[in-house]
A and B are shown apart, each in its own frame.
Chain A
């Protein structure tokens, strides 16, 4: 979380945040009413191709950019409501978890912060983190949307998870295509822009990573366990996701 706060002192990271937010918002608004799934809450998110790439390449700037972009999308898509607050947190997590889990979700991750399209392990890490970050957003947004009577958690959590996950899987094409250009030509790879080490190998961070993963699995599948209500599951999973994220 330290980098997510420190980045606001770096002009280039602030501009990256604005650019990420603008791209995300423009795509969200352009496709908002094309294929709605739950009107006013979610739609087929073509913009879902961006979060993993933004999160991995731009780190905290990508995370804040997604959060701000989603709010702009809600405002100018005409769907500003209290769920926009949960949308802000959920979309922040979609950009925050890719760069924080990449080196901490051991043994899925190898503990380094790098992308190599030829490494099978990198692909596996990408797919696992794509699922976790998509589910984390779904859990937080779903719990809040259910609490205020917008849409039942049991439905919305699955729709957002699947929607985000499919978007992120297609988004791997984008990451492969732009990684070298962004890192070596434009020099906008976030550890170099902020001049920090992106790999976080402490025990606390690994614990946080697995708490987030546990929260996501509980949030998506927990309601199927007999005797567990979706409401209890949603808030327990939300606590695990947010608590774990703070440790990262």
Chain B
């Protein structure tokens, strides 16, 4: 199991402080929520893709192309049946689709693609330990960040242990390739027991190792990796904040970018 989307390049985005990148992604999320018109969200998505290109990380996005297409298609198909609009395109047994609801479905599909792309942008340009460091510096308590970092490190270990257990059982005749989803689900439960027990034994070893080294959750800490916020970080955050302010103005004062009023 490969737990990273990090793409090692030396671009301006890779050099930003992790706090800037986390804050920036949150700002992009909020900017996306300002409009529900597909045209406006297309502009935002294009902006995110342009940043991907400058970060030389478009190949990371390409890995998730099927997920992105699925997200888009699902929204376009689903939302028109749940939103009422004025211009009815067709009606059938109580179901109706309007041009407004169809456009809203398109907009939501594009919004989901933008959300996933923006999240991926953070992961493609920031190492796992930088994300943890950024979270601590943003005020997340150290024990929580420690649990997060340890979990990220342990997950592949447990996944490998799980694979070994599954392979051992399959070699003894366990059928996990049946087409019945619920059958597979049910057969997984007994396999979870040895995975669970081996993980719990590990808990005791790790806790003893930490305690023997004087680990104290509340103790003040210094860090080997200490990134600094530079002018470039302020520039990026300032630009995104201004963009957000402009988007809020367009939505709230000019009423632009709205297909269905009363919804984000």
Query: Contact residues of A with B, CB < 8 Å?
Result: 8-12, 14-19, 21-23, 25-27, 29-30, 33, 35-36, 38-40, 44, 46, 49-50, 53, 64-65, 68-69, 71-72, 75-76, 78-82, 84, 147-152, 154-155, 166-167, 170-171, 173-174, 177-178, 181-182, 186, 188
Question: Is the beta-carbon distance between B186 and A19 smaller than 8 angstroms?
Answer: no
Question: Is the beta-carbon distance between A188 and B151 smaller than 8 angstroms?
Answer: no
With contacts A19-B203, A50-B192, A81-B119 taken as known, whether A30 is within 8 angstroms of B159 at the C-beta atoms is yes
Query: Which residues of chain A are near B159, meaning CB under 8 Å?
Result: 26, 29-30
B79, CB-defined interface residue at 8 Å: yes
Size band of the interface chain B makes with A: 35 or more
A8 partner, pick from B3, B155, B157, B217, beta carbons under 8 A: B217
A44 partner, pick from B33, B144, B185, B199, beta carbons under 8 A: B185
A76 partner, pick from B3, B67, B143, B195, beta carbons under 8 A: B3
A80 partner, pick from B70, B123, B203, B211, beta carbons under 8 A: B123
Query: Which residues of chain B are near A8, meaning CB under 8 Å?
Result: 141, 143-144, 217
Main secondary structure of the interface of A (DSSP, over half): helix
Query: Which residues of chain B are near A25, meaning CB under 8 Å?
Result: 151-152, 155
With contacts A23-B199, A186-B200 taken as known, whether A18 is within 8 angstroms of B1 at the C-beta atoms is no
Question: Is the beta-carbon distance between A15 and B203 smaller than 8 angstroms?
Answer: yes
The CA of A29 and the CA of B125, in the complex, are separated in Å by 21
Interface flags for B83-122 (1: CB within 8 Å of A; 0: not) read 0000000000000000000001001100110011001101
Nearest CB on A from B134, distance (A):
13
Query: Which residues of chain B are near A81, meaning CB under 8 Å?
Result: 29, 112, 115-116, 119
Nearest CB on B from A41, distance (A):
9
Query: Which residues of chain A are near B197, meaning CB under 8 Å?
Result: 178, 181
Inter-chain contact count A-B, CB under 8 Å?
Answer: 197
A selection of 5 A-B contacts at a CB cut-off of 8 Å is A22-B153, A75-B123, A81-B115, A81-B116, A167-B185
Question: Is the beta-carbon distance between B119 and A80 smaller than 8 angstroms?
Answer: yes
Question: Is the beta-carbon distance between A40 and B67 smaller than 8 angstroms?
Answer: yes
With contacts A38-B74, A40-B71, A76-B5 taken as known, whether A46 is within 8 angstroms of B188 at the C-beta atoms is yes
Question: Is the beta-carbon distance between B78 and A151 smaller than 8 angstroms?
Answer: yes
A30 partner, pick from B5, B162, B181, B200, beta carbons under 8 A: B162
Given contacts A80-B115, A186-B204, 18 further A-B pairs with CB under 8 A are A8-B141, A22-B155, A22-B158, A25-B151, A30-B159, A30-B162, A53-B196, A68-B147, A68-B148, A72-B3, A78-B116, A80-B116, A80-B122, A80-B123, A81-B116, A166-B185, A174-B192, A186-B201
